[in-house]
Amino acid sequence: MLSLSTENLLLRGSSLRNTDWVIGAVVYTGHDTRIMRNSVSSKQKFSKLEKMITKSILIIMLVEAVLCAIAATVATVWNDIYAAETS
């Protein structure tokens, strides 16, 4: 029987060189290992100013879309009314 020690350990992301062959045993240690926790991308951080500007831009775009819809409706009604008068 052969026991494994830390000298026989090859961590994720490592590579072997100058070997003709390798015998390996795969051990799953889960998501709580340091290498797995460090491989997860971090959350993006936004300042309060960036959040406020993003929210303001969205509100401005929504107001502009509503104003465009109202203006299109009024223009259509206006054209229908005055097209009937000129005909």
Return the pLDDT at 79: 92
Number of H helices, E strands in the chain: 2, 0
Pick 50 or 84 by higher pLDDT.
50
pTM for the full predicted model: 0.49
Reported as a single tens digit per residue, the pLDDT across 35-68 is 777 776 778 889 999 999 999 999 999 999 999 9
Return the pLDDT at 22: 82
SS3 67: helix
Q: What is the mean pLDDT of residues 75-85?
A: 87
Could you tell me if 32 and 26 are in contact, meaning their C-beta atoms sit under 8 angstroms apart? no
Residue 3's identity, in one-letter code, is S
**Average pLDDT taken over every residue of the chain:** 85
**C-alpha span between 85 and 18 (Å, rounded):** 92
